[in-house]
Amino acid sequence: MVDTVSDNWIFAPRIYVENVRGHDPAYEVTTEAILRNLLSVCRPAELTCRYSDERDMEALQRADILVAGRLDTALIASKAKSLKLIQCTSAGVEKYAPFDWLRASTALTNASGVHADKVGEFGLMATLMLHERVPAIATKQRHHTWTRQLRGLAAGRRVLIYGVGALGGAVAERLHATGFRITGIRRSGGSVAVVERMTTPDHFHEELSKTDILILACPLTPETRGLMGNREFAALPPGAGVLNIARGGVIDHAALASSLESGHLSGAILDVFEKEPLPTDSRLWDVPNLMVFPHVSADAPDGYVDRCLAILADNLERAKAGQPLRNEVDRQLGY
């Protein structure tokens, strides 16, 4: 929670916006967008919008609030010493850990939740594809092979979602409505209305053997890096499917490839990779029964900036009231 001893910055903040030149225009934070979303809660004393290759260093040094999709942590640590709040317009912030560059007086908030509706739709689509063995059908198509394999209804199939936060929860809602039986894993183990059963990460391995489709939707942390390796893929029942909408680093891709090539897994859908774009010489392009999506599961460009700035507007109201901020990154947990 930010320090509100001097609350001038809440009512009349100096705001610095940094965009990346050449990025999709749908994600550019403009002066108009800032004013449209924030004038109901504050009157900016100063508003500067720049690209990262043409910074106004004096304005950045004066700024109370930074809005950016990519954070230059070294620059922030050395120059932006007046910041009270950083609104990152991305949900994932693991690449900025450890957070020793972040002053104790500066809060970092992310865009968690703004992707939920799109991820819910994508997760439903991909889970149904895995149930219908679409990755295997696509592989057979490339080889001009006609093989009919009838599948029953999706209702009653067992799905395990590792990470039932904003994204995993949105997927769970869509799957629940379709009749899937859902088990969820998250650190707290707290109940979720649409999830039949919740448990904690220490029970992950025993849940794998009961799973038809595994969905990874967790943050990338030291605890989740390499979460799925040879042992874990082998623990899944023969014919299981895997969907990764978390981060590329949660999966050992060599182990996944082996499980698909051996036929143990019926299919996998990956939307995230450690190196993006996926290199043209990556083995993953040609692994049978694997579908590669170019990191599109979460991005719905229409209204994206407004949804991000709604979080900032909400947090200014919360700061006025001395309440905890929404989406504040826990420096110890890393998300």
Q: Residues with catalytic annotation?
A: 247, 276, 295
Running DSSP on this structure, what letter comes out for residue 152? -
For residues 304 and 211, what is the distance between their CA atoms, to the nearest angstrom?
A: 34
Edge-to-edge strands of the sheet including 107-109?
46-51, 14-19, 65-68, 85-88, 107-109
Residue 30 to residue 49: CA distance in whole angstroms: 7
Number of helices followed by number of strands (H, E) in the chain: 11, 12
Helical ranges in the chain per DSSP H: 8-11, 31-38, 57-62, 73-79, 116-131, 134-142, 166-178, 204-208, 230-235, 253-261, 304-321
Residues listed for the chain: 335
Can you tell me the distance from the alpha carbon of 233 to that of 258, in angstroms, rounded to the nearest whole number?
9
- How far apart CA 6 and CA 2 sit, in angstroms, is 11
Please give the sequence-ordered ranges of beta strands (E in DSSP) within 154-278, or none if there are none.
158-162, 181-185, 197-199, 213-216, 240-244, 265-270
Which residue in 316, 335, 330 sits closest to 113, CA to CA? 335
Contact assessment for residue 67 and residue 311, using Cβ atoms and an 8 Å cutoff: no
167: phi then psi, degrees, rounded to nearest 5? -75, -50
Note whether 295 and 24 are within 8 A (CB). Answer: no
Q: Do 66 and 80 form a contact (C-beta atoms < 8 A)? A: yes
- 269 with 126: CB under 8 angstroms? yes
